[in-house]
Structures are given as C-alpha cells and as structure tokens.
Amino acid sequence: MPQVPELTPTEFLDRWPRGADDPGVVLLDIREPVELDTASVAGAQHIRMGELPARLGELNRSQPMVIMCHSGARSLRVAAFLLEQGFEHVFNLRGGIDAWSLEVDTKVPRY
C-alpha cells in the first residue's frame, strides 16, 4: 500500500479556507447513504466506496483530493487505491467526519 499523506480537519481548512466549497480541492466522502443522512459536510462530493472503481472517470486526477469517511480507516484504503490508480494529490482526512465534528463544526452530528 502506498504511503498516504494525511490531514486533520483543521489542517485541511488551513490549506483550503473555504473548505469543501474551495474550487482548488475536492472533499470526497465515501460513506454509505445512511451515514450521509446522519451527518455530512456541505460541498463534499459523495461517491460510495463500493462504487468508486466504476466512477473513477468522474474525478480529476490532477486536482487535490481529500478522502473522508467516518473515522479515517476506509478513506485511508481508498486514498491508497487512488494513488495506485495514478491520482497525483490525494490525502486522507485523519479522524474522518467524527474529527470534523470535534474540530471544525460541532453542529455536525457524531455517530
């Protein structure tokens, strides 16, 4: 598995102050629909982990991309997969949406 760089939610916002709405980055949420119904980050792009291999063509290989799940474990695997597929600037969101809720936006429900 390739070495995947990681960012905390705070580090993500330090780099891209407009968050998921920043045109310079894609925040890719790979969680399941039931998880999205519980908690989500406005502006994030959603592609389920299981659908990602078939939908790679929807993603820009040269644009920075931060992958997010609930805790950071699934997104780490997806980020490694994307690096193996030739994507250039891929990061894992360490701690996932749970860390986002704790560090950035307490209105995002924890589950």
Q: Which residues are catalytic?
A: 69
Distances (CA, A) of 76 to 28, 63, 80, 83: 12, 18, 6, 11
The tokens for 15 are: 């780099």
CA distance 69 to 13: 17
Distances (CA, A) of 25 to 15, 79, 99: 9, 14, 19
